[in-house]
Structure 1
């Protein structure tokens, strides 16, 4: 049985298992289904990322898009299914939010359909005024890519 003490978290992008991250995101998630690898590589290059590792194998990932001053958007958070329920997502988020780049921001946002319980302990709550927010949303952007 793997424990939380066995998890190593790193923000070194050179350590990321891009093949695994891409396979999981593009095949297993509804928000990035079909994402081309090149798109993921560009996204990682322009983001603050952390990977979670157990026994030298990457088992978790999270990415934040930020201007490092006022705003951040948390996205692409996952823990591989066989490693869930061990507190790895919470540990990954705690280390990510401790990053100097995310201190003093006015707003950090995310979108989730079913993992509210993962994010609430980190201060996330429903939008206080949803009418302020608008979006351009193209859910089929990767179809045919």
Structure 2
């Protein structure tokens, strides 16, 4: 019988060193320190995907629980990629009962557009309305 894979937002279950290692292999967070990862976790709604209490992936959300949610740092442990875990994790987050009043969901991605389109994300209709201040790379 296949082991059950499940998603949890229990921050106590998170393997922070594992999350840091996974993020350090990404283009967007390769220089993020362990201390910065801890700070991000402390200030976000976090989700881990697990099998037998072993963490297989991670994602975090910045949100006010009403108007806006920004999905960040979706990562799957390299040896568990290609099994549909990222899609499962994202679907779980979108269905989380605490997030059902969100009016706008956003994210940024370099190369996973196809993944996010599967759950309804689209290119921003009017990107010229968005602005940012980029302090550090």
TM-score scaled by length of structure 1: 0.87
Aligned to 2:10: 12
Which structure carries more relative contact order (alpha carbon 8 Å, separation 6+)? 1
Superposition deviation, residue 20 in structure 1:
0.4
Where in structure 2 are there 5+ consecutive unaligned residues?
none
Aligned to 2:72: 75
Q: Secondary structure of the equivalent of 2:74?
A: strand
Superposition deviation, residue 59 in structure 1:
1.1
Output the CA distance in 1 between the equivalents of 2:13 and 2:81: 21
Q: What whole-Å deviation, never above 9, does each CA across 1:5-30 have from its counterpart, x for those lacking one?
A: 631211101000001001221x2011
Output the CA distance in 1 between the equivalents of 2:2 and 2:123: 29
Aligned to 1:103: 100
Alignment of 1:114-129 (within 5 A): 114-129=111-126
- Structure 1 stretches of at least 4 aligned residues deviating more than 2 Å after TM superposition: 3-6, 137-140
Where in structure 1 are there 5+ consecutive unaligned residues?
141-145
Alignment root-mean-square deviation, CA: 1.8
Superposition deviation, residue 56 in structure 1:
2.6
The count of corresponding residues between Structure 1 and Structure 2 is 137
Output the CA distance in 2 between the equivalents of 1:86 and 1:139: 34
Superposition deviation, residue 105 in structure 1:
1.5
Output the CA distance in 2 between the equivalents of 1:6 and 1:117: 26
TM-score scaled by length of structure 2: 0.91
User: Which residue of 18, 33, 48 maps to 2:45?
Assistant: 48
Aligned to 1:23: 21
Output the CA distance in 2 between the equivalents of 1:10 and 1:115: 23
**Range with greater deviation from structure 2 (125-134 or 4-13):** 4-13
Output the CA distance in 1 between the equivalents of 2:85 and 2:35: 27
